[in-house]
Structure 1
Amino acid sequence: MKALITKRLRNHTYPRWLQWLARIFWSVQGWKLHGKRPTIPKYLLVVAPHTTNQDFFYYLWLSVGYNIHPYFIAKKDIFNGLLGPIMRSLGGIAIDRAASADVVDQAAEEFRNAEEMVIAILPEGTRKKRPYWKSGFYYIALEGQVPMVMVSMNFKEKWIKLSEPYHLTGDQQRDLDVIRRFYSDAHGIKPENFSDIVFQERTGQNSGGQT
């Protein structure tokens, strides 16, 4: 089986001037950033809402401002053409949705074996509204034995917040209640596309969530 991650990004840092530029960008646009950059060595970054292609680039710019350089899991389509090398250099991992169950297992194993690593996931898995979130991110964190750091954006009130690291209990409903509370005031660019925070029954095919 091909390894999910072949290049370590843990020693990467953005130049200070670029971090300041990102902070200035948010300030000039009238955004407020709440929460501190996690200091723990490995965690799963859970990012929502994802209602248009545009918000992906907001999240990318956010990672610069906080000096977080995660891997991110995305459907292979966005790695086509000239965009592919750029996305990979930023930590993109192209996956085939048909092999999503393998992705969950491999990502969890990567976490267990790594001393330092961050993976970012958009758990809605699509820009269109769906009646559930993809549950793969939950099992990656649970089986990988790492906490989640949740990221929420409100494009109406212009704020972004990062949660404290949250260690899943394994009680899915209890954990989902925590997740719902955190995202209860999120507001996407197209709020009507924000998917409901519930899970389908887990089957042999899972996805950690893609763009």
Structure 2
Amino acid sequence: MQKLLSQGFGNVGYHAAYLAKKLFGCRVVAVSDSKGAIYSGKGLDPEDVSGYKHSTGSVLGYPEAENLSNKELLELDVDILIPAALEDVVSIENAEKVRPKILAEMANGPTTREAEEVLISNGVHIIPDILYNGGGVIVSYFEMVQNESSIQWDEKEVEMRLEKKMKEAYHSVFDFAEKNNAGMRQAAYTLAVGRVVEAMQLRGWI
């Protein structure tokens, strides 16, 4: 069972933890908010923690969990780390001690450039924010398509189409990174810029 922590437990962090547990059986061992973090090796129930936070104003003090600082949180031994709050939380100062198998960036710019080099050299698989946060943009595009076509897809149809797009995007970036010995972020930006250039050429703009 994969151990997961969410640095940030607002709308994004909560739903990431909830879905990871519900859909993939991950054990959510730690979450945090602006006041601090909590840890339980036995696992946390994201819904119950969310209810506690709404009633008390923070996750701190949650029963049967240990209070931690955000610094201690990021250095926990976990399989999946989700930074879902602030920029630059993984920096050159803590990069050597941040060692999940997967770092999934749900915040914007949570990893500095210098820290990323350290993480990659330590074998951490980074799913960059530009890729991870693409789902919202894709669904906005789906809304535009439906509006302009005067059609309406149900939730299941939207989820099916979104899953297909996100899987295709991930595998395109991963394959490019592997083929070119590049990081996932570099691969994502290279592919994105290349597609913009191709679209501009097809339109005769350049």
Give the TM-score range, shorter chain.
0.3 to 0.5
What TM-score results when the alignment is normalised by the length of structure 1? 0.36
If each structure's helix is expressed as a fraction of its own residues, which one has the higher value?
2
What TM-score results when the alignment is normalised by the length of structure 2? 0.37
Which of these two proteins has the greater Rg computed from alpha carbons?
2
Higher relative contact order (CA 8 A, sep 6+): 1
